[in-house]
Amino acid sequence: MAPIDEALAALRISDDPNITRIAKEYGVNRTTLSRRYRNKTQLLVNYINNVSIRGLAPTPAMHWNAFYNILSAMIKQYSIQKHNFYNMDEKGFMIGVLGKQWRYFSKASWESGRLKHVIQDGSREWITLVATICADGTALPLALIYEAVSGDLQDTWFQDYKPLVDECSFASSPTGWTNNQLGIEWLTNVFEPQTKAKS
């Protein structure tokens, strides 16, 4: 019997299964053992076999349905409440570039090339907005990430910010986008303190 099978057998007969302890005891990867114990691998294999037997190639809709069926089962199994569901997303904006613009000028002006240079001002500065909402209707404070190679924040970025009215956090990165370091800082300094009372 393979060590992973021995570890699974030990978990199944245990009154109080401790995945970490048993993974160390049998010398197997803890994550793999946890997934196999919770049958996540088998659920996927069963789904693929079922689709294959019917001669169907899995479509995106089938993938989504399978995902949400498993998600719904986990929500029910662990009694997860909606105040513990969050969605975080980021949106990057290139400063100086608008998605849609309306300009009125004559055809002759356009063809002469005099107006083509005004459509974009040459700025390629990025700013990223990070927004987080909860399924219960609440939202976490916004976060703005500015582009700054030095990593410093500039006073001019906060001229219109009113800390008593608006709650927001600010950071910078060389690209103006998120990165691993900013992600960890956001989790520890924004997400964790703001959501701790709900958990």
> DSSP per residue over the chain, as a string?
--HHHHHHHHHHH-SS--HHHHHHHHT--HHHHHHHHTTHHHHHHHHHHHHHHTT-PPPHHHHHHHHHHHHHHHHHHHT--GGG-EEEEEEEEEET--SS------HHHHHHTSSGGGS--S--EEEEEEEEEETTS-BPPEEEEEE-TT-PPPGGGGTT--TTT--EEEEEESSSS--HHHHHHHIIIIIHHHHGGG-
Predicted local distance difference test score (pLDDT) of residue 193 = 93
Predicted local distance difference test score (pLDDT) of residue 106 = 60
Give me the mean pLDDT over the 85-114 stretch.
71
176 CB neighbour count, 10 Å cutoff: 20
Q: Which residue has the higher pLDDT, 112 or 166?
A: 166
Q: What is the rounded average pLDDT for all residues in the chain?
A: 82
CB distance 145 to 128 below 8 Å: yes
Predicted local distance difference test score (pLDDT) of residue 109 = 66
Q: How many whole angstroms separate alpha carbon 134 and alpha carbon 85? A: 6
Q: How many whole angstroms separate alpha carbon 7 and alpha carbon 1? A: 10
Q: Which residue has the higher pLDDT, 160 or 34?
A: 34
Q: How many whole angstroms separate alpha carbon 33 and alpha carbon 8? A: 7
Give me the mean pLDDT over the 136-165 stretch.
82
Bridge partners, residue 89, by sequence: 131
> What whole-number percentage of the chain has pLDDT above 90?
27
Predicted local distance difference test score (pLDDT) of residue 110 = 63
Tokens encoding 120: 């974009």
Condensed to tens digits (0 to 9), the pLDDT of residues 157-196 reads 777 778 777 888 888 888 888 899 999 999 999 999 999 9
> What whole-number percentage of the chain has pLDDT above 70?
85
Predicted local distance difference test score (pLDDT) of residue 180 = 93
Give me the mean pLDDT over the 115-142 stretch.
77
